[in-house]
Amino acid sequence: MSTAAIVVIGNEILSAKVADENGPWLSRELRGLGVDLRRIETVPDEVPIIVDSLRRALASAKWVFTSGGIGPTHDDVTIAAVAQCFGRKVVPDERILSALRAHLGDRLNPALRRLADVPEGSTVDWSPGSLFPVVSLENVAVLPGPPVLFKEGFARIRDRYRAAPIFSRALYFGVGEGTLAEHLDATVARFPSVSIGSYPRFDDADHRVKVTFDGRDQAEVRRAADFLRERVPAGALLRED
């Protein structure tokens, strides 16, 4: 099974000065690729905390994506944290540095030179016309924080993560979870390879509970949904998709 974790980096996210768009967007992209997201964690611009988060992410998932903290200012510390996590040095990438020199000339100051820094041994994906490089070290991909750049960067590397698809079904019920609970328990026990979720509503939605079924085996997902449908009281099921 292909799994992933996302580490969102930035004091501005934790202080609610900026709303995180990258985590939810990447979650949807990864699911479409067949990648099972195991965690999203948001951390401040502090190297020890980022390193700790990266290690937890790597312990729980095959692929790890970071968002934010790769610019030229004092709070852009993601590259240093990724390097420390793997016990590597931070070194300038000559191809990036050369491009910066060509583009900036005499304006290339020490702060802007930091844009060429990468963890030693990194892979750098930089297509002609791209605004920035995507840096990857082993199973960690380092992406920028601004959503338009984040999406453009991920588009360059997305196909490397494609896996077997995840199939889904959903049933919508007009009864509460208390009525469904014993039938859900029986379904979970009968179909251990299918991930089953129950999501109640307490607003004016057209249903009271949505039950989802996710798995790699399409036939097994269908059988699990059919099993629950056949157990519930008559008239409880409103619709399905």
- The CATH class for the domain spanning 167-240 reads alpha beta
Pick the CATH number of 3-161 from 1.10.10.10, 3.40.50.2300, 3.40.980.10, 3.30.70.260: 3.40.980.10
Is pLDDT at 103 greater than 90 in this prediction?
A: no
Determine what percent of the chain is predicted with pLDDT higher than 70: 99
Over residues 118-175, the pLDDT tens digits come to 999 999 988 766 778 899 999 999 999 999 999 999 999 999 999 999 999 999 999 9
Whole-angstrom distance, CA of residue 154 vs CA of residue 198: 31
Tell me whether the CATH fold assigned to 3-161 matches the one assigned to 167-240: no
Residue-range domain boundaries for the chain: 3-161, 167-240
Whole-angstrom distance, CA of residue 75 vs CA of residue 50: 12
Please tell me the predicted confidence (pLDDT) of residue 95: 87
pLDDT: which is higher, 59 or 98: 59
Please tell me the predicted confidence (pLDDT) of residue 128: 66
State the residue for tokens 């009968």: 190
Q: Strands 167-173, 123-125: parallel, antiparallel or unpaired by DSSP?
A: unpaired
Whole-angstrom distance, CA of residue 48 vs CA of residue 57: 14
Determine what percent of the chain is predicted with pLDDT higher than 90: 90
**What average pLDDT does range 19-47 have in this prediction?**
97
Whole-angstrom distance, CA of residue 54 vs CA of residue 141: 11
Is pLDDT at 22 greater than 90 in this prediction?
A: yes
State the chain's mean pLDDT as an integer: 95
Please tell me the predicted confidence (pLDDT) of residue 145: 95
Is pLDDT at 53 greater than 80 in this prediction?
A: yes
Quick one: tokens of 223? 């059988």
Over residues 78-91, the pLDDT tens digits come to 999 999 999 999 99
Instruction: Please give the model's pTM, rounded to 2 decimal places.
Output: 0.91
Please tell me the predicted confidence (pLDDT) of residue 104: 86
Instruction: Please list the alpha-helical segments (H only) found in 71-209.
Output: 78-85, 94-104, 110-113, 147-157, 177-190
Instruction: Judge whether 75 and 15 are in contact, CB under 8 Å.
Output: no
Q: In the structure, what pLDDT confidence band is assigned to residue 27 with cuts at 50, 70 and 90?
A: very high
Is pLDDT at 217 greater than 90 in this prediction?
A: yes
